[in-house]
Amino acid sequence: MAERLHFTQAAQALGLTQSAVSAAIAALEERYGVLLFHRVGRHVELTDAGAAFRDEARDVLGAAERAEESLSELTGLRRGHLRIIGSQTIATYWLPPRLLRFRQRYPGIQIDLAIGNTTQVAAGVIAGDAELGFAEGTVIAPTLDIQTVDDDRLVLVVGQHHAWAADQALTAEDFRKMPWVLREPGSGTRDATEALLASRQLSVADIAVCLELPSNEAVRTAVEAGAGATVLSFSVVATSLRAGVLKAAGCALPTRRFQSLRHRERRLSVAAKAFLSSLEKTR
């Protein structure tokens, strides 16, 4: 009405009847005890109060339009924010190419990636520090929804000069005699090592642990230097195996699962849903 200064035209623009527009203006004027329009014959003019209210209303409507546009952009993945936390193996080797493909498709999405061990990944998702987590270790948390997203091959490796042969069947006694380099407790790779030992009726207490290190790369480098044996993801040691600075011992290891973690009681953003969907398409 303030734009048209004409009841009939305003009613047509709003898709209302002229009487409905008149009643709405009258109710507004009565509620606040202020006159918004002068009725001068067949013409309508804004009062000073009406002109001030029109300017404020324009600002409100503009903000509403911007908010709607913002929601539209978020829904359409033209912009947004995706917070992820991954375990070291996954965040260093598995996630980067998948995040790159997602970013190439949705360049307006800001991606934040944090790295920790499996325990830290689960804790980060539970606390809400990350929307999605990715880990390979055992996670027991009723508040989390856990889904398998890929499989991972594990390898028992030693330095290039070690006496273990690739076709040698390793016994519990071989494991006892060998010095070991391990990841820290809470790591999925550490869990895999303990599972291997358990298959020989051994525990960490039964072997000689020469080093316990907080990253896959530190463990790999120590073993390359001749520190002993370790279990790592094939993705971590593939280059070193090809270069001959590590060799794989003759020991079959079960495949482990890479898993996505999300909080059951928090709704995923459109960006998080799209990223999970992109992982399903690449499996």
Tokens of residue 106, six digits: 């949705």
CB count within 10 Å of CB 94 equals: 20
Query: How much of the chain exceeds pLDDT 70, in percent?
Result: 85
**Quick one: pLDDT band at residue 78, thresholds 50, 70, 90?**
confident
Residues above pLDDT 90, as percent of the chain:
57
pLDDT tier for residue 70 given thresholds of 50, 70 and 90? low
Which pLDDT score is estimated for 14? 61
Order of strands, edge to edge, in the sheet holding 208-213? 208-213, 179-183, 229-233, 154-159, 246-248
Give the integer Cα–Cα distance in Å for 37 and 5.
9
Total count of residues recorded for the chain:
283
pLDDT, tens digit, 9 for 90 and up, residues 46-60 = 777 777 777 777 776
Q: Which domains does the chain show, CATH number per domain?
A: 7-75 (1.10.10.10), 80-150+257-282 (3.40.190.10), 154-254 (3.40.190.10)
Q: Where are the alpha helices (DSSP H) in the chain?
A: 7-14, 18-32, 48-75, 88-89, 95-105, 118-127, 172-177, 188-198, 216-224, 234-243, 270-282
User: What is the mean predicted confidence (pLDDT) over 26-55?
Assistant: 76
> Exposed e or buried b for every residue in 233-263, given b needs 16+ CB within 10 A?
bebbbeebeeeebbbebebebeebebbbbbb
pLDDT at 282 exceeding the cut of 90: no
Q: How far is CA 230 from the centre of its chain?
A: 29
Q: Is the pLDDT reported for residue 169 higher than 70?
A: yes
pLDDT of residue 19: 79
- In what helix (H) or strand (E) does residue 258 lie, and over which residues does it extend? strand 256-263
Q: What is the mean pLDDT of residues 167-187?
A: 90
Of residues 155 and 17, more confidence is placed in 155
Residue 100 above 90 pLDDT?
yes
* pLDDT score, position 216: 94
User: What's the pLDDT score for residue 251?
Assistant: 85
Task: Give the gyration radius of the chain's Cα atoms.
Answer: 32
The residue among 219 and 27 whose pLDDT is bigger is: 219
Mean pLDDT for the chain overall? 86
- Residue 208: its pLDDT value, please? 96
How many angstroms separate the CA atoms of 229 and 246, rounded?
A: 10
pLDDT at res. 41: 67
Q: In the predicted model, is pLDDT for residue 67 greater than 80?
A: no
Taking only the tens place, the pLDDT of each residue in 187-217 is 999 999 999 999 999 999 999 999 999 999 9
What pLDDT shows up at residue 167? Answer: 67
Question: Do residues 242 and 158 make contact, with C-beta atoms less than 8 angstroms apart?
Answer: no
- Distances from the Cα of 26 to the Cαs of 6, 23, 37, 38, 145, in angstroms? 15, 5, 10, 12, 55
Q: Which residues contact 23 (CB under 8 A, 6 or more apart)?
A: none
Largest pairwise CA distance in the chain: 107
Q: Is the pLDDT of residue 71 over 60?
A: no
Which has more confidence, 45 or 217? 217
Q: Which range has the top average pLDDT, 22-31, 125-134, 249-258?
A: 125-134
Residue 40 vs residues 6, 44, 272, 281: alpha-carbon distances, Å:
11, 6, 58, 67
pLDDT surpasses 90 at 35 = no
